[in-house]
Amino acid sequence: MSLLSVQDLRTYFHTRNGIYRAVDGVSFELNAGETLGIVGESGSGKSVTCYSLMGLIPSPPGRIESGKAMFDGVDLLNCTPKQARSIRGKRINMIFQDPMTSLNPYMRISDQLIEPLMIHEDITKADALKQALEMLDAVGINDASSRIHYYPHEFSGGMRQRVMIAMALITKPELLIADEPTTALDVTVQAQILELIKKMQKEIGMGVIFITHDLGVVSGLCDRVQVMYGGRIVETADTRSLFYEPKHPYTRALQKSIPSMQPKGTELYTIEGLPPDLSKPLPGCSFAPRCEFANEGCTSDRKPELQDVNETHRQSCLRVQSGEL
């Protein structure tokens, strides 16, 4: 039984310079307790996918053109504001990339932490504070009882991200969306935060969608990974097959361009060119202009669709599908 099922999500931004197809037909499922990694470069649509689910797309210019996202019988994209409020912030929570800007600088940590509890649960302020303290302890903030009344600027980057995580987990959500939670942090602090997310996931048993551009982070954390490019999913597989048997040329190229995967002193493998301009419709595969294996068939009118490689592995390269690669 899947916890979240997204079908054919399309989110477009209608701007003066044209329509940006930020997310263009994305479908995926997430089981309870599973960790799904979404990997892609900036502008590939990974964050917009999740913002759409949370109802955080600024409108205008953004508009969800089509799609369904079923979460426990409720379509998150077409539900009443009341239904959305009862789910968002309680059963689905989100951690953002930049802990420096995602906390309110005018509010004490304690007030920010108990806010979700006060809104969603019938609870007294004293009880909420008690739970907030326990949560701060759980995410590894020393001396939580005195620090809970601090303001955000009195915390370091790593500690603020811990506070964000505590805030997201305090309602014991069933789904946590983490949007590049460690990109702004140092490697040593990143290691702390990743361990923390793993530990809390085990305790609460929630599903996690982890958005990142770092393939290394995904490999240790996620059960399943999907790779996005130009607003579409190009490959999805369990972590092991994605890393050891990547099929799509983009996934392979992405892996080859990581410095640690290549012998020292050799020239790094590079993907030529730039990510596509999403405001201009591209015929065929959006990766074709940068792909070393592309031929005429790739730029014809046919949009590549995801096809099964095996039970857990799907990819969308036409040439791989026809057995040419």
Partner 1 sequence: MPETILELQNLKTHFPIYKGVLLRREIGKVKAVDGVSLKIKQGEVLGLVGESGCGKSTLARTVMQLVHTTEGTVELEGRNLTTSSPSEMLEIRRDLQMIFQDPYASLNPRSTVFATLAEPLLVHKVCTKKEVHARVGELMETVGLAPRFMQKYPHEFSGGQRQRIAIARALALRPKVVLADEPVSALDVSIQAQILNLLAELVKKMGLSLIFIAHDLSVVKHISDRVAVMYLGKIVELGTAEQVIENPVHPYTKALVSAIPTANPDEERDRQRIVLPGDPPSPINPPSGCSFHPRCPHATDQCSITVPVLETFAEREVSCIRKAEI
Structure token pair of residue 209: 């969608």
Q: Which of 66, 156, 295, 310 binds partner 1 (CB under 8 A)?
A: 156
Which region among 88-96, 122-130, 238-246, 313-321 touches partner 1 (by CB under 8 A)? 238-246
Contact 39, 215 (CB under 8 A): yes
Contact 175, 207 (CB under 8 A): yes
- The count of chain residues that interact with partner 1, using the rule CB under 8 A, is 45
E strand map for 256-296:
none
Q: Which is nearer to partner 1, 72 or 186 (CB)?
A: 186
Residue 71, phi then psi, degrees to nearest 5: -130, 110
Q: Which of 126, 187, 301, 323 binds partner 1 (CB under 8 A)?
A: 187
Report the distance separating Cα 201 and Cα 246, nearest Å. 27
Contact pattern from residue 29 through residue 68 relative to partner 1, giving x for each residue in contact according to CB under 8 A and a dash for the rest: ------------xx--------------------------
Which region among 15-23, 53-61, 82-90, 184-192 touches partner 1 (by CB under 8 A)? 184-192
Q: How far is the CB of 156 from partner 1 (least distance, A)?
A: 5
Q: Per CB under 8 A, which of residues 132..151 are in contact with partner 1?
A: 142
Q: Does 7 bind partner 1 (CB under 8 A)?
A: no
Q: Which is nearer to partner 1, 171 or 251 (CB)?
A: 251
7-31 per-residue burial string, b: 16 or more CB within 10 A, e: under 16: bebbbbbeeeeebbbbbbbbbbebe
Q: Does 16 bind partner 1 (CB under 8 A)?
A: no
Q: Which is nearer to partner 1, 88 or 224 (CB)?
A: 224
Q: How far is the CB of 185 from partner 1 (least distance, A)?
A: 9
Residue 158 parent element (H or E): helix 157-169
Report the distance separating Cα 284 and Cα 92, nearest Å. 35
Q: Which of 86, 192, 279, 312 binds partner 1 (CB under 8 A)?
A: 192
Q: Which of 190, 236, 286, 315 binds partner 1 (CB under 8 A)?
A: 190
Q: Is 211 exposed, middle or buried (0-12, 13-18, 19+ CB in 10 A)?
A: buried
- DSSP 3-state assignment of 14? strand
Q: Strands 224-229 and 207-212, how do they pair?
A: unpaired
Q: Which is nearer to partner 1, 245 or 308 (CB)?
A: 245
Report the distance separating Cα 4 and Cα 304, nearest Å. 24
Q: Which of 83, 104, 262, 310 binds partner 1 (CB under 8 A)?
A: 262
SS3 content of the chain, % helix, strand, coil (to 5): 35, 25, 40
Q: Which of 200, 217, 234, 318 binds partner 1 (CB under 8 A)?
A: 217
Interface residues with partner 1 (CB under 8 A) are 41-42, 142, 156-159, 186-192, 194-195, 213-220, 239-240, 243-244, 253-255, 257-262, 264, 267-271, 274-275
